[in-house]
Amino acid sequence: MKSLNSKWKHSFLYFLIIHLILYLLHHKLALDNQTVRIKKSPDLPLRFRHDGTFKILQVADMHFGNGVVTRCRDVLATQFDFCSDLNTTRFLKRMIEAEKPDFIAFTGDNIFGSSSADAAESLLEAFGPAMESGLPWAAVLGNHDQESSMDREELMTFISLMDYSVSQTNPSAGNASNPGNREMITNIDGFGNYNLEVYGAPGSHLANSSILNLYFLDSGDREVVQEMRTYGWIKKSQLHWLRGVSEGFKGQKKDFSYSEEAFPSGKPPALAFFHIPIPEIRQLYHQKIVGQFQEAVACSSVNSGVLQSFVSMGDVKAVFMGHDHTNDFCGYLDGIWFCYGGGFGYHGYGRAGWSRRARIILVELEKGGKEWMRVERIKTWKRLDDQKLSKTDEQVLWNSR
């Protein structure tokens, strides 16, 4: 009996091994017939050029739908023989070629969910020119991205896996230049809150130090407050995380002999990017602005204290938003410039005869002796999608002196 049981066990084990070998062989053959896709990643960390500059292209509200079959909104019949999402693609390619940015920041409503049959397909087409360029790029979500076949977490995860994207689904507690040494923070509202560090110019003593921060925040989509629908807002948990990131740079001795020289305030300067404007933007209607204020500010009924947080942090010098397509101005609030990108995409609403537009942000370093030092100046301007890509409203947003 014992011998019979032993033979049965050996037979069963033999049978199991044969099936395992066949299973693995089948899957190996299946994989051999497929192309294994690996994400293409940019060189990290982000850094200033040899000429001491770092240029950002802001793309606000592409509102991409289904490509060539998606018609344009609010364009004159005399402007185009035929207008579709491909005009948005063409504009993005023109901007990349003309301005040659170092980085592209997409500030939400990248796709128009209600017009997108498949969110993944729309995202691939919308961000196609950025991926083809090989430039590092990052995105946040607006209030329309999730209206198709993906929720907000799925969208940000997909975006983070696209070629040359440096977007993150959740903020990380590690070094962005070393993805293998990062721990994701999950106790925070939204998807797409993260910080990107920009390092000094090659060959300078700050080449291994981050001297500019790029803060990305998820401003949400729609919510209900006291039985009334309103737009989303940046939550307390996000601001708590951001204050912690900002405070972490205070007094940080990345280069002991030069830290005070590089960061007199104790922190490197920062730029912030999100989609839905904060309530205080309404105040700018009665103040001096650079650009055009053409529509009411569509913000949340909730004021979560974003402006107060930025002021208390002390490092945010300028903020870049989208959402209100025919507003393209910069206005000054409590020592910080708040700038709209202006409507970029042709399937989003606009104003007939008013060109779609993009914003450029140029950060310049100070020259000290024979090498580049700290951030000295932050400038901005817009380009119109006309025959000459007309440049307009150039201004200095911040100067270290």
**Exposure on the CB side of residue 55, measured as CA atoms within 13 A:** 16
Q: Report how far residue 302's alpha carbon sits from residue 348's, in angstroms, rounded to the nearest whole number.
A: 25
The number of residues making up the chain comes to: 401
Percent of the chain with pLDDT over 90: 79
Q: Report how far residue 49's alpha carbon sits from residue 55's, in angstroms, rounded to the nearest whole number.
A: 9
Identify the band that residue 366 occupies on the pLDDT scale cut at 50, 70 and 90.
Answer: very high
Which residue did the predictor score with more confidence, 229 or 6?
229
Which pair of structure tokens corresponds to residue 192?
């797409």
Which residue did the predictor score with more confidence, 265 or 216?
216
Identify the band that residue 264 occupies on the pLDDT scale cut at 50, 70 and 90.
Answer: low
Contact between 240 and 185 under an 8 Å Cβ cutoff? The reply is no
- pLDDT, position 66: 94
* DSSP codes joined into one string, 302-338: ----HHHHHHHH--EEEEEE-S-TT---EEEETTEEE
- pLDDT, position 36: 63
Give the model confidence (pLDDT) of 309-323 as tens digits: 999 999 999 999 999
Domain ranges (residues) in the chain: 1-31, 43-399
In this predicted structure, the answer to whether residue 175 has a pLDDT above a threshold of 50 is no
Q: Report the SS3 class of residue 247.
A: helix
**What's the predicted TM-score (pTM) here?**
0.88
- Specify the range with the lowest mean pLDDT, choosing from 33-37, 292-296, 314-318: 33-37
What average pLDDT does this structure show over 373-386? Answer: 97
What average pLDDT does this structure show over 239-261? Answer: 73
What average pLDDT does this structure show over 179-185? Answer: 57
In this predicted structure, the answer to whether residue 332 has a pLDDT above a threshold of 70 is yes
Orientation of helix 119-126 relative to helix 152-160, angle to 10°: 40
Beta strands in 175-257 (DSSP E): 194-199, 210-216, 222-225, 228-231
Q: Report how far residue 26's alpha carbon sits from residue 350's, in angstroms, rounded to the nearest whole number.
A: 54
* Burial class, 239, CB count within 10 angstroms (exposed 0-12 / middle 13-18 / buried 19+): buried
The CATH code that applies to domain 43-399 is: 3.60.21.10
Q: Report how far residue 301's alpha carbon sits from residue 295's, in angstroms, rounded to the nearest whole number.
A: 17
> What is the sign of the dihedral through the CA atoms of 340, 277, 114 and 152?
positive
In this predicted structure, the answer to whether residue 384 has a pLDDT above a threshold of 70 is yes
